[in-house]
Amino acid sequence: MATIKWDHLVHYVNDLSKSIEVFGEHGLAAFKGGSHKDWGTYNALSYFGLTYLEFLCIENEELAKASEHNIVVRDAVKTLPEHEELSRVVLRTDDIDQVAASLHAAGLSISPILDGKRLDNEGRLIEWRMMTIDGDFEGLVYPFIIQWSGTDEERLERLTSSGVIKPHPAGQVEIKRAVFHVSNPAVVANHWASLFGLVATELDNNTFSLQIGDKSFVFKQGDENQFKQVVFESDAPTLKGKSIVLGEGEYVFN
């Protein structure tokens, strides 16, 4: 059985430097990642262990528009520059071929498994395999799936020793929840639970949660059918009770 974990999230932005600056003003380490030369996008990253934020920006609009199978890039072209919004969560697996077979059997429209690569800001090659899911369910777009080379333990050691994962100046900070506003929280939560081998739990006020490791996806009542908020836990007094708003995405610190 393939494992499923929350790998990262994608936030479409128009200015990577502004995103880095805003996070830096709150004591959060963010940095330019690199360019996706095949897709016409580039990114900035902020790591919280192996779960991280990816601010994604269009670098080459002509190339991005020509991206055939990468729905994340296609959506960026449609969304930017008008809406700097949280796009979707990304699920990490250790067997993307098995996940692809399972999603295909469930009747979903999935992309071919793509080979991704980019150079980091020090010129090192980073490679992965990924797969996107076309369409939406009840108006909410699906996550996409990624598989990195090596184990989680190997990646954590490598990213830490290279300084990619490092302490945030503000203090300890951990991503805990992704919050989605959807018209039918129970239906959407149970659908995702069935697809990805998770368990849906009702909280209150028509709110449902999917536990994914020590984190969760929360589905609340709302007409936007959109990924709206990221919730962190932190021991930093400068962050507790604060909220950072970037475009249409909100980062909340408890």
Question: DSSP secondary structure string, 120-140?
Answer: -TTS-EEEEEEE-B-SEETTE
* DSSP H or E run through 181: strand 173-182
Separation between Cα atoms, residue 226 and residue 136, nearest integer Å: 11
* DSSP H or E run through 52: strand 51-58
User: Is residue 219 within 8 Å of residue 11, measured between CB atoms?
Assistant: no
Q: Rank 64-78, 125-139, 239-253 by mean pLDDT and report only the highest.
A: 239-253
CA-to-CA separations, 44 to 17, 65, 69, 92, in angstroms, rounded: 8, 21, 22, 19
DSSP state of 158: H
pTM: 0.93
Sort strands 249-253 and 215-221 into parallel, antiparallel or unpaired: unpaired
- For residue 206, name the pLDDT band (cuts at 50, 70, 90): very high
Separation between Cα atoms, residue 116 and residue 251, nearest integer Å: 28
Q: Which residue type sits at 28?
A: L
Sheet holding 173-182, edge to edge: 200-202, 208-212, 215-221, 173-182, 226-234, 249-253, 243-246
More confident residue, 38 or 157: 157
* DSSP H or E run through 215: strand 215-221
More confident residue, 118 or 50: 50
Separation between Cα atoms, residue 187 and residue 46, nearest integer Å: 32
The predicted structure's pLDDT at residue 162:
85
Averaged pLDDT for residues 195-201 = 95
Q: Tell me what the pLDDT averaged over the chain comes to.
A: 93
Q: What is the pLDDT of residues 169-185, one digit of tens each?
A: 999 999 999 999 999 99
Q: For residue 249, with 0-12 CB atoms within 10 Å meaning exposed, 13-18 middle and 19 or more buried, which class applies?
A: buried
Dihedral pair phi/psi, residue 180, rounded to 5°: -115, 135
The predicted structure's pLDDT at residue 108:
96
Residue 120 has pLDDT above 80, yes or no: no
